[in-house]
Structure 1
Amino acid sequence: MTSAAASPPHPPSGRPRRRRPPWAGRNYSLLAVAAFITTLGAHGALIASSFAVLDTGGDGGDVGLVAAARTLFLVVFLLVGGAVADRLPRHHVMVAANALNFLSQGAFALLVLQGEPQLWQMMALSALGGTGQAFFNPAAEGMLMASVSGEQAGRAFALFRMGMSGAAVGGAALGGALVAAVGPGWVLAVDAAAFAVAGALRMFLDVGHIAPRVPGSGLLADMRDGWREFVGRPWLWTIVAQFSVVVAVVGAAESVFGPLVARDELGGAGPWGVALGAFGVGTILGGLLMMRWKPQRLLFAATLSVFSLALPSAALAVPVPLGVLIAVMFVSGVTIEIFGVSWITALHQEIPEEKLSRISAYDWFGSVAMVPLATALAGPAESAFGRTPSLWGCAALVVVATTAVLFVPDVRRLRRRPPATVVAAGDVCLEKAVPTQESPAGQESPAGQESPAGQAGVSPR
C-alpha cells in the first residue's frame, strides 16, 4: 500500500483517495474472498450430499453414515494437521488441502451424475473430504490470525466471520434451490469448482513477513509441544472443554430434536427452516456489533454470551410458539458472534504465531469430537427420558458447563491488550497486570482505530 507521504493527496479526478483500512491488506482480502467462495459452496453441498444419498434409495441412517465418515476423519487427523501447519508454510498446506477437497468432491459429483453411486464410495469420498478439512482448518485459522495485527484485529475478525455467516445462509438457500432445479450432482460439481478457485487464490498469499520455520525434533515432538502450550493455559483448555459439551448438546438439540418438534408442534420443515434462518441473520448482525464494540475483558464477555445457547433447547422443550422461537434463535446468533470474535481475538493476542495452528487444532478437536456421540445418543435419550426432559437436559448442560468456566480466574481477568502495552508473546494480560486506556465501548479512539474464529455447522466458533 502506498504511503500518504509518497502519494498525492488527490487523484486527477479531484476526489480524495480512499485508502483501505490497515486490516484489509492483501492476505486478509485473499483469505476472506477465498473463504467466502468455499463456504458458499460447502453449505450447498451439505444439502446436495444428503439428497444424493436419498436419491439412490438410502435412508436417514445412510445419510448419517456419510456425514459420520467425514467427521470421523476430521477428528482423527486434526491434531496432525495442526502440527503440520506449524512446520510448513501454511498457505502450502491450505492449497494442498483444497486440492484434495477438489478431487474428492469432484469424484463425488461425477459418480452422482453418472448414475447410482454405492454407499461405500460416498463414505470413502466423504472421508477424504474430512481429511482435507483436518489439515486445512488449523492452517487457515493460523494464517488468518497472522494476517492482521494490533487494535484492528477485532474488527477484521468480525468482518471475516460476518462474511462467512452470510455465505452460509446464502449457500444453504441457493444450494437447496439448485438441488431442486438441476439435481445434487451439479451442486457437488459447483462445490468442487469452488475449492479449485479458492486454492488458486490462496497460492498468491504473501508469507514474507512470517519468520521461517525452524526445524524441530519431529512431528510428534511438535505435537507434544502444542499439548504443553494448550494445557499450560487454564483459560484455553477450560473453554475448549466447555465447548466440547456445548457444541455437542446444541448440535443434538438442533439436528435431532428440533426437526421432531417442528414436525409435531410447529407445522413442519418450513417453520424450522425459518427459525434456523433467524439464527443466521443473528450471526450477521452480531458481526456488525463486534466491528464496533471492544469488550475489555475479552473472555468474560465471551463466556457470558454463551449462556444464550441454552435458550433454543429450552424453547423447544416448552415448546414455544414459532414467533418466540425465531426471536430466541436470532438472539442466540447475535451472542455467539460476541463469543466467536472475542475468542479468536484472545487467541491472536496470547498465542505465539509459530504455535497458532497447533492451538487451533486442539480448539477444533474439542469442538467436534463429541458431536457424533451426542447425536447418536439423542434418540436413546428420548426413548429413555422423553423428548422434553432430554431438551431441558441439553439446556442445563450448557448452563453448567458455562458457569464452571467463570470460576477460572484467567477467564474473568484476561483483558484486551492495547498496542502500547504489548508484552512478550504468550504472556497472559490480566486485569491487574496491564491497565488499559480505551475509548468507551462502541466509540472510535482519536486515531480512528478499533480493536475474530472457526466452521459453520460444526462449531459456533
Structure 2
Amino acid sequence: MARVQSFRQDLGLLRDHRFTLLLSARTISVLGSAFAPVALAFGVLGLPGADASTLSVVLTAQSLPMVLFMLVGGVIADRFPRQLVMMTGEWVNCAAYAALAAMLFTGWTPLPALATAAALGGIAMAVLFPALTGIIPEVVPAERLQTGNALLGLGANTSRVAGAVLSGITVTLVGGAWALAVSGLMFGVSGLLIQFLRLPPHVRTGAARPSVLRDLKDGWTEFRSRQWLWVVVAQFSIMIMALQAAHGVLGPLLAKEHLGGAGAWSAVLAGEAVGTLVGVVVALRLRPKRPILIATLLCFPSALPYLLLGVDAPLWVVVAGAFLLGICFDVFGVLWQTTLQREVPPEALSRVSAYDALGSLMFGPLGLLLAGRLAVMVDARSAMLVCAGVVVVSTAAALLSPGVRNLRAPEFPAK
C-alpha cells in the first residue's frame, strides 16, 4: 500500500525562501530549454541542403560532450559549492544558445560551427545536472524531498508545456533563430537567480580531495554497491537510445513529412508536457512503499506514442499517447530522484548522479546517429516500432532484479 500526503503539507514548502529561489531558477531554465528541441530541429532541417543526417550530426555534437563530461561534472559538483557550479553551467548554456541564434540570424551556418555551439551546450548540461541533484537535499529537509522534487517538477513541466507551445508558434511565425535567442536569455536569467541562492557554509562541499581519479573511484563504489541503481541505469541506457532516436530525429522527420510540420510535432511535445503536469499531482500525493518497483513499471506505457507513430495513427491519438508518456515519466523521475537523494550519502551524491546520467545517456548519441541513417535507408515508421519494442524489452529485463522489486522507502513520522 502507499501513503497519501496532505496538499497543505506539500505547499508549505513554498514558504521557504531558498526553495522558492531554486524553484524559480529551475523553472526559467527549463522554459529556455523547452524552446530548443523544436527550434533547433526545424532550424537545422530548414537550412539549404539539410536532411535528417545533418540534424543527427548537430544533435550528436550536443549529446556526446554531455555524456563525456558528465563524470567530470559530478566531481566538480561534489568538490565545489553547487550554487557556483549551477550558475556557471547556466551562463555557459546562455552563450551556446546565443551563438546558435546568431548563426541562424546571420545565415552563416557551417556545420562545424553549429556542432561546436551545440557541443558547448552539452558541456553545460554535464555540469548542471549533477549539481542540481546534489543541491536539492541541501535546501529541502529529508522528509520533504519527494515534495521538493515534485514541486520542482511542477515548475519544470509547466515551462515545458509553455515552451512546447510557444516554440512551435515562434518557429512557424518568425523562425528558429528567435526561439534559440529566447533560450539563451532564459538561461542567463536563471544564472542570475542562482547567484542569489545562499547556502550555509557547513553544507558546502568544496573540501580538497586526493585526486579526481580517486573521487571517481569512490563514486563508482557507491554506485555499483546498489543493485537497484545500476540495473535501472542499465535499463535506461538502452531506453534512452531509443528515445533519443524517436524524439530527436524520427519524430520531427515524420511530423515534417506526414503530419504537417513543426506545429504537429510541437503538439506531440505539448501533449507529453501536459501529461507531466498531471504526473506531478500523482507524485505529490503518492508515497509507494516500493518506489523503484512502481517507477520501473511506469516505463511500459512510455512506449505508446512510438507505437502509435509507427502504425500511422491520427495526430490526436499520438498526442494522447504522449500525454500518457508524460504522466509516467514524471512520476518515475520524482520517485527516482527522491530515492537517489535518500539512499546515497550527500558527499557522493553528485558523483553518483553523474554515473547515473552517464550510464543512462551513453548510448543516446548512437541512437541519434542510427536514426538519421535508418530514416534515409528504410521506412521511418518501422524504425519507430523498433523504438517501442526496445522500451518494452528493456523494462521487462529490469524487473528481473530483486533490488528493483524489493527496495523500500523509509518511514517518516506524520506531522
Structure 2 length-normalised TM:
0.88
- What does 1:173-212 align with in structure 2 at a 5 Å threshold? 173-208=165-200, 209-210=202-203, 212=205
Matched, 1:148 2:120: no
Question: Contact 2:272 / 2:325 at 8 angstroms: preserved in 1?
Answer: yes
Letter in 1 for 2:26: A
Check 1:95–1:153 CA distance in 2 against 1; reply closer, same or farther (3 A cut).
Answer: same
Q: Distance in 2 between matches of 1:104 and 1:269?
A: 23
Question: Contact 1:250 / 1:309 at 8 angstroms: preserved in 2?
Answer: no
RMSD: 2.8
Q: Distance in 2 between matches of 1:266 and 1:56?
A: 20
- What does 1:85-124 align with in structure 2 at a 5 Å threshold? 85-124=77-116
- What does 1:49-68 align with in structure 2 at a 5 Å threshold? 49-53=40-44, 57-60=48-51, 61-68=53-60
The structure 1 segments of at least 4 consecutive aligned residues displaced by more than 6 Å after TM superposition are 382-385
- What does 1:62-461 align with in structure 2 at a 5 Å threshold? 62-208=54-200, 209-210=202-203, 212-259=205-252, 270-378=263-371, 390-419=383-412, 447=415
Letter in 1 for 2:94: F
Q: Distance in 1 between matches of 2:260 and 2:390?
A: 28
Question: Contact 1:23 / 1:153 at 8 angstroms: preserved in 2?
Answer: no
Count matched residues. 405
Identity of aligned residues (%): 38
More displaced stretch, 167-176 vs 377-386:
377-386
Q: Distance in 2 between matches of 1:399 and 1:406?
A: 11
Structure 2 stretches of 5 or more lacking a match? 1-8
Check 1:24–1:373 CA distance in 2 against 1; reply closer, same or farther (3 A cut).
Answer: farther
Question: Contact 1:82 / 1:360 at 8 angstroms: preserved in 2?
Answer: yes
Structure 1 stretches of 5 or more lacking a match? 1-17, 421-444, 448-461
Counterpart in the other structure of 1:33: 24
Structure 1 length-normalised TM:
0.80
Q: Distance in 1 between matches of 2:46 and 2:251?
A: 24
Question: Contact 1:111 / 1:117 at 8 angstroms: preserved in 2?
Answer: yes
Q: Distance in 1 between matches of 2:243 and 2:163?
A: 22
Structure number with the higher helix fraction is 2
Q: Distance in 1 between matches of 2:233 and 2:15?
A: 29
Shift, 1:302, TM fit: 0.6
Residue 205 of structure 1 aligns to a residue whose secondary structure is coil
Q: Distance in 2 between matches of 1:263 and 1:104?
A: 26
Question: Contact 1:248 / 1:370 at 8 angstroms: preserved in 2?
Answer: yes
More displaced stretch, 294-303 vs 100-109:
100-109
Q: Distance in 2 between matches of 1:352 and 1:206?
A: 22
Shift, 1:362, TM fit: 1.4
Per-residue CA distance 1:439-461 (angstroms, 9 max, x = gap): xxxxxx5x2xxxxxxxxxxxxxx
Shift, 1:266, TM fit: 5.5
Q: Distance in 2 between matches of 1:264 and 1:54?
A: 12
Greater Rg over alpha carbons, structure:
1
